[in-house]
Structure 1
């Protein structure tokens, strides 16, 4: 009898200990949160690294138990596809691409709507750069006819916008010698004289263009005029923009246009998780990281986080913005 009682006690204690250890393990299991960015030579990747660092729960900061990582990718379209397919928890995209995806229009015409796409935050303006080789005699978009021009990779938001800009000036890809390269390789070919110009959409200054301007010199081609005014009236996600003098060595003030960089996720992500992530992005520690980490980080502000939305906010993000008073 005593042996049976003892045996039952040992079995019970073992079960309780097993449950206890399982509970501890479960409590300590990290939550992984990937941020799809862009090519390593662009602006998305370093900004993604700053935000991942800000929200990761380590050294007494961030969201407890959260392990966030910035993942290099082909950009906006690839990131939305990854979020939609569950291959990534979040990603950066241009506001135009997000709008098209959510509404099933434009680039996503005939491909169905990405109805679960939700916004965490609008980040900063993304400037359309048209970078030309010195001596290529490209003074306007119209001068690209017959030139060797990289439009960026398939799946990137830059390619979408490059096509729209060309179209505004009566050009198509057939009117140029089109190549489809990431900004890094495009810059290398420009430096070597194998390319005349390339499009890049991202916050200025971007490291790859800065290095190119310093090492071999560049020209920024204005994207302006009545053709652009018409473009802006048709596509409301575009806005007029200017690259100030001296942002890139030897380059004067250049009028151009921009879209917004946005951080998106899926409606399937838990509201509490996205609420805590959003709240952490706008705390004092994160503010210091963003201000010190990248020139574009200073433009990522709570006041702009809900501007130019285009798609619905994630409920977790919306809850925080209402508490913070930036949404009524």
Structure 2
């Protein structure tokens, strides 16, 4: 996305607004005691959600008076469940999982009352195999061991849907077609180690570009990144427009040409019990510090309001809606 917030007027407005909201919140804190810390469900330690959450907590602390407490989790599915039960106030999650939660689709037994503050960046789905290996397309994963993301992660969801669309899992794989893939649920570090030793033939990862762990692996082991853009259409037909066609750019991981793949947005979410002024203050931090925040998870990304408000079936938090109207019209 293109940043349209470069003008001094807009950035000045953001800074002025942040000070005004901060002063208002500080006044409330003086009357009613300290502002309650907001628990932010992130992801596993060392992963991009965890890095983003830690960076956001630091930025909020510097802006004051918001206090965010990042919580290590299994990522998207786990985070939505924590929001639902009230053990987290804020969370990061992929757009597909968030929409499943709002609509009460599997793995959620009923609709989850959750709201969005912003879409913050887009994950790129990586399907990684050794360059010297026999796997050149998703169909070649038939009968082979595949690491499909950590349990409860967004990577697990998109990997499962790609494999199902290819007829390698579920009912389609139980018939006379190709042998099902041997799906194993592993986080990124475990997946990298398993590919390095040959314990799996491939692994899925959903994250920003470049992902440092993959950059490091590519220096040790020549890699092939399988194209997945041909699966975008079927995924959109079945699951809606949460999936988009994106590309791993040339230069990342030593790629000599772009590789088309599946993109899915990442949302910053909140329970509707989060106060409107706190939601607005947090968004002002996000927009004032987006360069620092996104540097932690993906290169070259930008954040602007028209991108941020594109949260599909997940409704905006009332404080977020008021923020966008008041600041950007």
Deviation of residue 325 (structure 1)?
2.4
Question: TM-score if structure 1 supplies the norm length?
Answer: 0.82
Q: Relative to 1, partners in 2 of residues 1:182 and 1:287: Cα closer, same or farther, differing over 3 Å?
A: closer
Alpha-carbon distance between aligned partners in 1 of 2:243 and 2:296, rounded to the nearest angstrom: 27
Structure 1 residue aligned with 2:121, among 124, 147, 157? 124
Alpha-carbon distance between aligned partners in 2 of 1:32 and 1:268, rounded to the nearest angstrom: 13
CA RMSD of aligned residues (A): 2.2
Structure 1 residue aligned with 2:59, among 35, 54, 68? 54
Structure 2 residue aligned with 1:224, among 209, 226, 229? 229
Deviation of residue 25 (structure 1)?
10
Q: What does residue 316 of structure 2 align with?
A: 313
Q: What does residue 85 of structure 1 align with?
A: 85
Q: Give the 5 Å matches for 1:240-319.
A: 240-250=245-255, 252-283=257-288, 286-290=289-293, 293-296=296-299, 298-319=301-322
Q: Give the 5 Å matches for 1:119-198.
A: 119-172=116-169, 175-198=180-203
Kindly provide the CA deviation profile for residues 36-73 of structure 1, in whole angstroms up to 9, marking residues without a partner as x.
222234322222222222222x3xxx231x22233321
Alpha-carbon distance between aligned partners in 2 of 1:279 and 1:256, rounded to the nearest angstrom: 32
Kindly provide the CA deviation profile for residues 148-186 of structure 1, in whole angstroms up to 9, marking residues without a partner as x.
101122211211111110111111067112211111111
The secondary structure found in structure 2 opposite 1:245 is coil
Q: Is the contact between residue 220 and residue 251 of structure 1 (CA under 8 Å) also seen in structure 2?
A: no
Query: Quick one: higher RCO (CA 8 Å, sep 6+), 1 or 2?
Result: 2
Q: Is the contact between residue 127 and residue 259 of structure 1 (CA under 8 Å) also seen in structure 2?
A: yes
The secondary structure found in structure 1 opposite 2:134 is coil
The secondary structure found in structure 2 opposite 1:248 is helix
Kindly provide the CA deviation profile for residues 88-138 of structure 1, in whole angstroms up to 9, marking residues without a partner as x.
111111111111101112432xx1110x20101101111111111232211
Q: Give the 5 Å matches for 1:194-209.
A: 194-209=199-214
Deviation of residue 295 (structure 1)?
3.5
Task: Please state if 1:63 is matched with 2:64.
Answer: yes
Q: Relative to 1, partners in 2 of residues 1:292 and 1:244: Cα closer, same or farther, differing over 3 Å?
A: closer
Q: Relative to 1, partners in 2 of residues 1:264 and 1:31: Cα closer, same or farther, differing over 3 Å?
A: same
Q: Relative to 1, partners in 2 of residues 1:133 and 1:259: Cα closer, same or farther, differing over 3 Å?
A: same
Q: Is the contact between residue 120 and residue 308 of structure 2 (CA under 8 Å) also seen in structure 1?
A: yes
Alpha-carbon distance between aligned partners in 2 of 1:197 and 1:251, rounded to the nearest angstrom: 20
Q: Relative to 1, partners in 2 of residues 1:91 and 1:193: Cα closer, same or farther, differing over 3 Å?
A: same
Q: What does residue 112 of structure 1 align with?
A: 110
Q: What does residue 18 of structure 2 align with?
A: none
Q: Relative to 1, partners in 2 of residues 1:245 and 1:26: Cα closer, same or farther, differing over 3 Å?
A: same
Runs of 5+ consecutive residues of structure 2 not aligned to the other structure: 1-28, 174-179
Q: Is the contact between residue 147 and residue 186 of structure 2 (CA under 8 Å) also seen in structure 1?
A: yes
Question: TM-score if structure 2 supplies the norm length?
Answer: 0.82
Equivalent residue pairs, number: 292
Runs of 5+ consecutive residues of structure 1 not aligned to the other structure: 1-22
The ranges of structure 1 where at least 4 consecutive aligned residues each deviate by more than 6 angstroms after the TM superposition are none
Alpha-carbon distance between aligned partners in 2 of 1:277 and 1:307, rounded to the nearest angstrom: 18
